[in-house]
Structure 1
Amino acid sequence: MDTLKFISLLGLVFLFTSCYKNEYKKSEDSFQNIYLREWNSSICPQKVVFEKYKKNSNFKNLINGSSDFDINSNCLPKYDKFNKKVPTSTYNDQMVLTPYIFFTGQINYDIRLVIDDSLEYKITAIQDEIDTIADRGRKKWIIMNNIKSLVVNGHKLDNKNAPLSIEIPTKIGKIIKK
């Protein structure tokens, strides 16, 4: 009986340690995507402005900005088949913004994100650190910036569901133009 327990335990250890190859990849990216959760709109955004400001400058000292983002939203026609098939999926109501020009290094600045000149997100108090994260899709490990938490428009958010990205509920955006 003890032999059976030992073999079972050894099999479990082997199973859990073989899930990920011991391959490590170092990435200098600050983040990979920005997820706007609960987008719930049939209107696709046309323009995204991403601005970096000196940390704690109250958005007065602009470092630089970019509007080079790939906008992947479920309001696009190519996602219609998914929206109709799986209406309860948590990914049916998100908009994904992927930068064409990757931001590198740890985030030691504040961020202002503006969607279509009408919806604004001021992102401050970003808590990040270099960490090893499992890349489940490729079964590897990535040594990369890991965003733990942030404050968006005065709302403190835990970013544990998207450590390699920034995850923001759409509803906390500030309307700046109607």
Structure 2
Amino acid sequence: MDTLRYIISISFIFLFTNCYKTEYRKSDESFQGIYLRQWNSSICPQKIIFEKYVKNSNFKNIIERDSNFEIRGCELTESQFNQRILKPNVSYISQINYDIKLIIDDSIVYKITDIKDGIDTVSVNSGPGTWMIMNNIKSLVVNGQKLDNTKAALNIDIPTKLGKVMKR
């Protein structure tokens, strides 16, 4: 009798925990943020310049220049993560069909090319059954180094050490 009660209890728990509505949301954002990993400095960037160039123009034909970014990860409570997060205050829309030059404090430059992205469905951390249909960045080349970006598909994930010091 106890075994039957146990099986019925487990069945009800399984039934009710798996009854959720699958929800899909659509986002047209190109990316949500730029993560500079392994920052290894207590210095917080003060100035961000994000430049969009015509794809494969060797950074000659600029499309747009923007410096409206929120800089996160500088607070003492976030220093354990050893990264800086650059969030655009105005979203970039649609797939990325351009090259990017990211300049930090007029001293470090990241030239981002060969961005491979596409529309994909990804799980959202807000609960089971919640999915987001959005741009998914699969890979990119930063200053000549090819990077796999599949683990941070909603963001641009860059190791800080790939930055080049700008000539003055």
Query: If the length of structure 2 is used for normalisation, what is the TM-score?
Result: 0.85
Is residue 145 of structure 1 aligned with residue 135 of structure 2? yes
Q: Deviations over 1:88-126 (max 9, x none)?
A: xxxx11110000011000000000000000000000000
Corresponding position of 2:47: 47
User: Alpha-carbon deviation of 1:23?
Assistant: 0.5
Q: Deviations over 1:118-169 (max 9, x none)?
A: 0000000000000001111354111000000000000000001100000000
- AA matched with 1:145: N
Unaligned 5+ runs, structure 2:
none
Work out the percentage of aligned pairs sharing the same amino acid.
60
Provide the C-alpha distance between the structure 1 equivalents of 2:108 and 2:162, rounded to a whole number of angstroms: 10
Q: CA-atom RMSD, angstroms?
A: 2.4
* Number of residues of Structure 1 aligned to a counterpart in Structure 2: 158
Is residue 113 of structure 1 aligned with residue 113 of structure 2? no
Which residue, out of 129, 148, 159, partners 1:158?
148
Query: If the length of structure 1 is used for normalisation, what is the TM-score?
Result: 0.81
Provide the C-alpha distance between the structure 1 equivalents of 2:58 and 2:159, rounded to a whole number of angstroms: 22
Provide the C-alpha distance between the structure 2 equivalents of 1:70 and 1:58, rounded to a whole number of angstroms: 28
Corresponding position of 2:90: 101
Matches within 5 A, 1:23-38: 23-38=23-38
Match of 1:43, SS?
Answer: coil
Runs of 4 or more above 6 Å deviation: none
Matches within 5 A, 1:19-98: 21-73=21-73, 75-76=74-75, 80-81=76-77, 83=79, 87=80, 92-98=81-87
Higher-Rg member (1/2)? 2
Match of 2:161, SS?
Answer: helix
Unaligned 5+ runs, structure 1:
none
